[in-house]
Amino acid sequence: MDVKKEIEELRREILRHNALYYGEDDPEISDSEYDALMRRLKELEDSRPDLITPDSPTQKVGAAPLEKFDKRPHRQAMLSLGNAMNEEEAGEFDARARKRMETEGPIEYVAEPKIDGLGINLVYESGRLAWAATRGDGEVGEDVTENVKTIREVPRSLAGGSPPPLAEVRGEIYMPISSFRDLNQSRELAGEPLFANPRNAAAGSLRQLDSRITAGRNLGLFAYQLGAVEGGPSLETQFDLLRVLEGWGFPINPLARLCRDLEAVTAYYREMVEKRDGLDYEVDGVVVKVNRLDWQRSLGERSREPRWAVAIKFPPRQKTTIIKDITVNVGRTGALTPAAELEPVEVGGVTVKRATLHNQDEIDRKDLRIGDKVLIQRAGDVIPEVVKFIDDGEHGRRPSYLLPRFCPACGTEAVRPEGEAVLRCINVNCPAQAKERIIHFTSRNAMNVDGLGEKLAARLYDEDIVKGVADLYRLDLETLAGLERMAEKSASNLLEALDRSKDVTLARFLFALGIRRVGEHVASLLAEAFGTLEAVMDASEAELLNIEGIGPEVARSARDFFQRPETRDLIGELLKLGVRPREAEPRVKIASAFSGKSVVLTGSLESMTRAEAGARIVEMGGKASSSISKKTDLVIAGKEAGSKLEKARKLGVKVIGETEFIKMLEEK
């Protein structure tokens, strides 16, 4: 077979396995088989560097582990939990425990959210974090110490003085839902496979051989148990245990609660069913633990599950229903987004009537049509989505669905730019876009104007009172109170809210402007990097690109936006009307030999770990990357630097050794 063909085939295969491994946490081949494919691809690319493309899996961070992790036996086994599917089964659990303890009275419990993440065992020797391992099979886990050390919430040493000689601290590593979305968004822009959910993203981030990748992902921790402890504090209850963990410096779930009896547990469970959608982490149930530790010991365990603890699961978030219709919404950037109008159905405690269908490709991929029976799901506070068509074989189906060719709001012909999945209305005066911009501008995470809902925004627009966001600050009591069905009190409340909104952080203001590809996260990166509105407006594409976390498409979009005369007029008007974006504290960045440089570390260093070296480079304004390309500015070669060093030489990238690197670090 010719080399080019083989390379292409290998890439396709590897990308498919990446998707299985990262996206589904469900690999089809073993790590060593994967390594063999990767090695063969590298070999071929080395022989034909002219065939290397930036999207080759060899050029990307986030490849699957190339070696296995070391194994770590746990001192005390990490048990799993029995499930109670509902309140009734929770009652049975309580009854069993009381019978075993031969008690007539109620049992006291600690109840807390069951975090949908990865169990972790953190081992502290004389108060220092010695190592960390995943749960594994409960007896033996994988050593992920270096990666865990990059997680800010994991204490390196126990606070509070007089630490025990040994303590196994157990908890859950998770990825906040907001970070999960940011991560997937940037992976989508980079053409990388998406993670299916926050749990998989956390697993994929923790099980990395290169801890710099873990460091770049925002992972959190909730500690909830102790394993083996030697010479620790004497504890009587589970609740005291949480206080001790807190005193040692661990994050404890603030929703953990002492419940005096089963009834209090049930009330807690109902409260959590209501609360789960408002949390920034996935919770899949409530864990209930007998509070008295001596009782926990007497109850013991049965087939790897404690008799003193149980997980009460939340109602499922998947249901089947019917797509009654498909409608199209025009967003503030003109994107035409199809939505499925559903036969209303209750999912996990909420009635669902609509689900987003994203775009035409998504509809085609899932082959969704009006009239179809479908499975829908809600994950976290994410908008409901259609998982798949369910073929019951009973009904004939309608023809495939095609998005309209014209904007449903203004009738302009919609376009689908090359390489994009989204169909767009490009009429800048499209009324639907204008309304959406107003709604976005005033929304809670933007200018936070209370009292201006979707309906009122549409009315103000349709009645020619507010045509653009600047008009909001020209509203007066007379006009507002004169609107039909508008009470004077709500009118004056709205005016007050508008007035309050003028004092706004730069990040919120940038987000409120509704720049394409600039979400909350990017807006705060811009605010931090530049400090003032003027500086953001005048930033060149290169300066924007220099910011860690901002890619070429975002940089271009922001630059285009601020260059438009309409933007400059609008911002001028808003400032004149009294909107004052507060200057942000610029991130302390030390101008150094690493500023703006893309640096690759290879081999091992004597004076520090690679993760530490990476962190120092980032602190000093550089970018630590794991693969070498033409864009690499500098390679730091430690001991036993292998193929990367060769590649650097081939590409003519500057290479320095450890001594020179240390010198550069000290020169700041």
Measured CA to CA, the distance from residue 424 to residue 413 in angstroms comes to 9
Q: Which of these is catalytic: 4, 5, 114, 149?
A: 114
- Is 135 near ligand IVH (CB under 6 A)? yes
Q: Phi and psi for 567 in degrees, rounded to 5?
A: -65, -45
Q: Please tell me the count of residues contacting ligand IVH according to CB under 6 A.
A: 15
| Residue with smaller CB distance to ligand IVH, 124 or 224 | 224
| Residue with smaller CB distance to ligand IVH, 116 or 658 | 116
From the CB of residue 322, how many other CB atoms can be counted at a distance below 10 Å?
A: 16
* Cβ 262 vs Cβ 86: under 8 Å: no
Least Cβ distance, residue 80 to ligand IVH (angstroms): 4
Q: Judged by CB under 6 A, which of 76, 80, 448, 595 binds ligand IVH?
A: 80
Q: Judged by CB under 6 A, which of 19, 81, 258, 382 binds ligand IVH?
A: 81
Q: Where in 427-486 is the site for ligand IVH (CB under 6 A)? A: none
Least Cβ distance, residue 173 to ligand IVH (angstroms): 9
SS3 330: strand
One DSSP character per residue, 599-619 reads EEEESB-SSS-HHHHHHHHHH
CA of residue 81 relative to chain centroid, distance: 26
- Is 224 near ligand IVH (CB under 6 A)? yes
Which 8-state DSSP code applies to residue 20?
I
CA of residue 188 relative to chain centroid, distance: 13
Least Cβ distance, residue 97 to ligand IVH (angstroms): 14
Q: Judged by CB under 6 A, which of 45, 108, 168, 172 binds ligand IVH?
A: 172
- Is 306 near ligand IVH (CB under 6 A)? yes
- Is 82 near ligand IVH (CB under 6 A)? no
Measured CA to CA, the distance from residue 625 to residue 653 in angstroms comes to 14
Least Cβ distance, residue 91 to ligand IVH (angstroms): 20
Q: Counting runs of H as helices and runs of E as strands, what totals does the chain give?
A: 25, 24
The residue range among 77-85, 96-104, 124-132, 553-561 that interacts with ligand IVH, by the rule CB under 6 A, is 77-85
Is 114 one of the catalytic residues?
yes
- Is 225 near ligand IVH (CB under 6 A)? yes
Measured CA to CA, the distance from residue 87 to residue 69 in angstroms comes to 40
SS3 630: coil
Query: For residue 10, what are its two tokens?
Result: 């290998």
Query: For residue 502, what are its two tokens?
Result: 């003028």
- Is 202 near ligand IVH (CB under 6 A)? no
| Residue with smaller CB distance to ligand IVH, 309 or 386 | 309
- Is 168 near ligand IVH (CB under 6 A)? no
| Residue with smaller CB distance to ligand IVH, 112 or 182 | 112
| Residue with smaller CB distance to ligand IVH, 226 or 522 | 226
The residue range among 185-193, 306-314, 407-415, 547-555 that interacts with ligand IVH, by the rule CB under 6 A, is 306-314
Dihedral angle of Cα 558, 559, 562, 564, to the nearest 10 degrees: -120
| Residue with smaller CB distance to ligand IVH, 167 or 311 | 311
CA of residue 239 relative to chain centroid, distance: 30
H/E element, 459: helix 454-462
* Cβ 599 vs Cβ 621: under 8 Å: no
Q: Judged by CB under 6 A, which of 23, 57, 62, 119 binds ligand IVH?
A: 119
Measured CA to CA, the distance from residue 264 to residue 291 in angstroms comes to 13
* Cβ 354 vs Cβ 337: under 8 Å: no
Least Cβ distance, residue 303 to ligand IVH (angstroms): 13
From the CB of residue 625, how many other CB atoms can be counted at a distance below 10 Å?
A: 18
- Is 115 near ligand IVH (CB under 6 A)? yes
Least Cβ distance, residue 571 to ligand IVH (angstroms): 46
* Cβ 322 vs Cβ 374: under 8 Å: yes
Least Cβ distance, residue 388 to ligand IVH (angstroms): 27
Burial 61-95 (b: 16+ CB within 10 A, else e): ebbbeeeebeebebeebbbebbebeeeeebeebbe
Least Cβ distance, residue 309 to ligand IVH (angstroms): 5
- Is 287 near ligand IVH (CB under 6 A)? yes
Which 8-state DSSP code applies to residue 51?
G
Sign of the four-CA dihedral 517, 518, 519, 522:
positive
Q: Judged by CB under 6 A, which of 245, 272, 309, 636 binds ligand IVH?
A: 309
Q: Which residue is nearest to ligand IVH (CB)?
A: 119
| Residue with smaller CB distance to ligand IVH, 281 or 561 | 281
Least Cβ distance, residue 150 to ligand IVH (angstroms): 20
Report the chain's terminal Cα–Cα distance, integer Å: 53
Least Cβ distance, residue 133 to ligand IVH (angstroms): 13
- Is 197 near ligand IVH (CB under 6 A)? no
H/E element, 285: strand 283-290
Dihedral angle of Cα 546, 552, 554, 556, to the nearest 10 degrees: 100
| Residue with smaller CB distance to ligand IVH, 11 or 114 | 114
Measured CA to CA, the distance from residue 468 to residue 463 in angstroms comes to 13
| Residue with smaller CB distance to ligand IVH, 311 or 574 | 311
User: At how many degrees (to 10) do helices 643-651 and 31-47 cross?
Assistant: 30
Q: Where in 85-114 is the site for ligand IVH (CB under 6 A)? A: 112, 114
Q: Judged by CB under 6 A, which of 133, 219, 311, 376 binds ligand IVH?
A: 311
| Residue with smaller CB distance to ligand IVH, 115 or 407 | 115
List residues binding ligand IVH (CB under 6 A).
Answer: 79-81, 112, 114-115, 119, 135, 172, 224-225, 287, 306, 309, 311
Q: Which residues are catalytic?
A: 114
